[in-house]
């Protein structure tokens, strides 16, 4: 799970911005973006990415939620759509 791969923010970081690095589980591309340390704490405790990081772009939230970058997610959704037509 992506949540488990992100290190805890340093104690006392508060609302300071800190970089996090997240790797797509399919294509293995690594993405970097900045989040508030206090929001990262909430995410690590189980908050969903949309609630914890409302300021992130939807594709960044998707990567945190599903472990897939936008490109891989689009391919995955296309494959699922194709499977529905094959039934």
46-75: average pLDDT: 94
Q: What is the pLDDT of residues 70-82, one digit of tens each?
A: 999 999 876 655 4
pTM: 0.77
Per-domain boundaries in the chain: 2-86
12: Cβ contacts below 8 Å, ≥ 6 apart: none
| Sign of the CA dihedral running 64, 70, 72, 74 | positive
Whole-number pLDDT of residue 86: 47
Candidate from 5-9, 56-60, 71-75 with smallest mean pLDDT: 5-9
Strand partners, 20: 33
pLDDT of 4 above 90: no
């Amino acid at each position: 799970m992506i949540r488990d791969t992100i290190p805890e923010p340093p104690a006392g970081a508060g609302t300071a911005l800190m970089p996090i690095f997240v790797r797509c589980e399919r294509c293995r591309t690594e993405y970097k973006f900045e989040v508030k340390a206090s929001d990262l704490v909430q995410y690590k405790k189980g908050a969903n990415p949309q609630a914890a990081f409302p300021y992130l772009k939807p594709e960044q939230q998707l990567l945190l939620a599903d472990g897939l970058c936008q490109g891989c997610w689009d391919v995955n959704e296309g494959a699922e759509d194709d499977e529905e037509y094959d039934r």
